[in-house]
Amino acid sequence: MAGYPDLREALAAKYERENRVPYKAENIVVSNGAKQSIANAMLALLNPGDEGNCFFALLGKL
């Protein structure tokens, strides 16, 4: 679930080169959006029977 290894390595190299931030590819997660990232975090942290709340701000008017 962490994303393509080649992409994660390229991102780690970019952050090192452009921002001088020494990330390792194994510390980078690539997802296709916030919903997937939130779902991945919930799957990693919650157990069957646990309760969780997600609060989302509404952008614009309904």
Q: Residue written as tokens 């614009």?
A: 60
Q: Which two tokens stand for residue 12?
A: 């780690």
How many Cβ atoms are within 10 Å of 18's Cβ, its own excluded? Answer: 8
Where in the chain are the domains? 5-45
Q: Which two tokens stand for residue 51?
A: 């309760």
Residue 15: HSE in the Cβ half-sphere, 13 Å Cα cutoff? 12
Residue pLDDT tens, the chain, 62 long: 678 899 999 999 999 999 999 999 999 988 888 888 888 888 889 999 998 876 766 666 55
Entry pTM: 0.61
- CB burial of residue 54 (10 Å; 0-12, 13-18, 19+): exposed
